[in-house]
Structure 1
Amino acid sequence: MGDESGKLARPLLLAGIGVVLLAVAIGLNVLLLNREEAAKTTPESAGPVIPPPAELAEPVPPPSPVQKAADQPGQDAPEFDVVRINPKGDAVMAGRAQPGATVVIRDRDTLLGEVIADGRGEWVFLPDQPLPPGSRELILESTAPNGTKTSSRNAVVMVVPEPGHDIAGREGESGPLVVQVPRDGQGPSKVLQAPSKGVEGPRGLAIDSLDYNDRGQLHIGGRAKPREIVHLYLDKTFLGRAISDGKGRWTLTPDHMIEPGVYSLRADAVDDAGKVLARIATPFSHAEPLAAEPGEAFIVVQPGHSLWRLAHKTYGSGFDFTVIFDANKEQIRNPDLIYPGQVFALPVPPPTR
């Protein structure tokens, strides 16, 4: 893999209330509106409220590119489909590769194990020993029967807390966090396992994660009903629309760049006529850039009342951040309470050159 194995251009920052690396975090605060409140709500208002479906009728926002979530990724490179780990470090990993290929699983430069993909290109790996607490970055390398070598387009960032502590190192309990991120820094991350169970809005509408880099580029991901239209707003600005895939997953990469600060992010599930069927809204904070020595690679987890943030610094790149949202009905009304407290760093060994 050469330099590529050390180049996960996507520092992650996860923020979350009660439990989440960056991974389940800020609460999708869901409030029902009565008829009077619905009449006062416009598509541009960013309040964290959910009007009753039958009473919402909003005009369709100005035309913008529609982004559809892909149902099936490419089949050439090895990829993770499932990565699960319990607080004791017992893990199971599964994914796809070319049929008959030898798949090597690495934690950066440390070999975890290898398996052979079956005739359908599926593989499963169970580590012999529990993985110790800490943070790690998992990548895949495969060798096809004809000798062709390829590596995974995505990496999996995993944080396993110490016993009696959460994923940021504070006293308390937290499950592990597992997030899949593109190694080239382009595109949204995907939460494979969150430290705690999140909350969905009506009709299963949810914002799962928000990625941004130090240039202010956004990638937003979430869930809705399959093949449903989702409109996204940042404060009073319409960001764009997405269409969920066959499994209900949607992503959006708007052209809109953002500066550091606190924002309100809103998602509306709408029908073909633009009528709002469900709404969720939540605040989030765009972090200031972190300071780091050139060539330094590490993962930072920062706790907050409302969410977790994860930042991942890799060689030759700036910081990328991932915010994972979870429930917090108390704090969601007060965005000033996001991100108080200490920043905890979880070192990652640099790759061997």
Structure 2
Amino acid sequence: MASKDQAPRRGSKTRIIAVAVLSALALLNIGMLVMLRHGGQPPAPPPPAAPAPAPAVSMIAPPQFDVVRVDTEGNTVIAGRAAPGAVVTVKDNNSVIGTVAADAQGAFVLAPQTPLAPGTHEITLSEVPPGGAEVAGNQTAVVSVPGNGGQVLTVLSGPNGSTVLTGQGPQAGQLGLGAVDYDTNGHAIFSGTAPAGATVDLRLSNQEIGQAKADAQGRWHISAAVPASPGMLSLGATTATGQILPPVTAPFAPETLAAALADGHVVIAPGDCLWLIARHVYGHGTMYTLIYAANAGKIHNPNLIFPGQSFVLPQPKS
């Protein structure tokens, strides 16, 4: 039989258990209320924060020439491509000769009101796309206007080398070797013409140099390591319809023009023009006038020189 002192202790334990049960029921009721407010389901976790948008990267390509047409009077038409809606600025020797807006397809055409004066002109492009910053072109069109009614020489230079547009060299659409340029990475850039869509194959002394496909304008470019030895270039082509064209050949000597200044003369090979020779020998195509002046008795028209001619190369004045 329990003593009187033990009875209160049992009562205390009972009260503690009752308080704990009531607390658990209260917590259960609160949990049920929360679930009812969320449709009987536990509350969904907050969605993860959206990642910050990546910064926009400019994909604006530099403006390009498609057409540079200059007649004997210096009247000029320039057409090309830029970003749609861009404002294109055309400069001649760093002087603005006109601005024009590219259409929705990025095409533009400019016919400056003032004809180009006799002499040498370096025409460049730049563009400002809608809401963007100025983008400089990576091509230069060098135009030589003789001023005596003679044929205008136009040479387009860019990352793919030089292309003689008018004045000398093979015509677009015909299979031919045009120019050879040398870049700063030890490559030779061969360029020429062929029917649009034709696959051309270039060999040196029957060793493969490279293949390319002529673009819609009938022009092609092949970049390769500079051949170590001279030889005969052979250019073959297969048209888009499968026709095999007769090959075109021309002599090649690596960096002959670059070493010609030390020898004091140069022998003209197929595809050469005074502008290209001056560019290789002196570093600037506009210095072709030095060669012309030193060989005035042999050159009746600076735009018409012929394979086999031998020209004196004067030392430029310091």
TM-score by length of 1: 0.54
Structure 1 residues without counterparts, runs of 5 or longer:
1-73, 165-173, 292-301, 322-335, 348-353
Which secondary structure does the structure 1 equivalent of 2:67 belong to? Answer: strand
SS of 1:287's equivalent in the other structure is helix
What is the deviation of 1:303? 9.0
Which of the residues 198, 219, 224 maps onto 1:249? 219
Q: Which amino acid aligns with 1:119?
A: A
1:146 corresponding residue in structure 2: 131
In structure 2, give the amino acid aligned to 1:191.
V
**Compared CA separation, residues 226 and 88, structure 1 to 2 (3 A):** closer
User: What one-letter code is carried by the residue in structure 1 that aligns with 2:177?
Assistant: I
Does residue 180 of structure 1 match 2:167? no
**CA distance change for structure 1 residues 216 and 340 in 2, over 3 Å: closer, same or farther?**
farther
1:63-212 matched pairs, under 5 angstroms: 76-163=61-148, 174-182=150-158, 186-192=159-165, 194-196=166-168, 198=170, 204-212=174-182
Q: Distance in 1 between matches of 2:134 and 2:252?
A: 41
User: What's the CA shift string for 1:109-159, capped at 9, x where partnerless?
Assistant: 212121122232222111121111111211111112214211112121111
| Deviation of the 1:344 alpha carbon | 8.3
Question: Which protein is richer in helix relative to its size?
Answer: 2
Instruction: Give the counterpart letter for 2:84 in structure 1.
Output: P
Deviation readout 1:66-114 (Å, 9 max, x if unpaired): xxxxxxxx96322211110011111111112222221111123212121
Alignment-derived partner of residue 265 in structure 1 = 233
The runs of 5 or more residues in structure 2 that have no matched partner are: 1-58, 286-305
Change in 2 beyond 3 A, CA 1:337/1:152: closer
CA distance in 2, matches of 1:222, 1:243: 11
Q: How many residues align?
A: 231
Given that 2:73 and 2:147 are in contact with CA atoms closer than 8 Å, whether structure 1 keeps it comes out as no
**1:283 maps to which residue?**
251
- Partners in 2 of 1:150 and 1:190 — Cα distance? 23
C-alpha displacement of 1:339: 4.6
Offset of residue 313 of structure 1: 5.8
Partner SS for 2:251? strand
Aligned-pair RMSD on alpha carbons?
4.0
Confirm or deny: 8 A CA contact 2:190 2:222 kept in the other structure.
yes
Report sequence identity in percent: 27
User: By how many angstroms is 1:217 displaced?
Assistant: 2.9
What letter matches 1:102 in structure 2? V
TM-score (ref. length: structure 2): 0.59
Partner of 1:308: 273
Partner of 1:288, secondary structure, is helix
Greater relative contact order (CA < 8 Å, ≥ 6 in sequence): 1
**Selected match of 1:319 from 273, 283, 289:** 283
Q: Retained in 2: the 8 A contact 1:290–1:319?
A: no
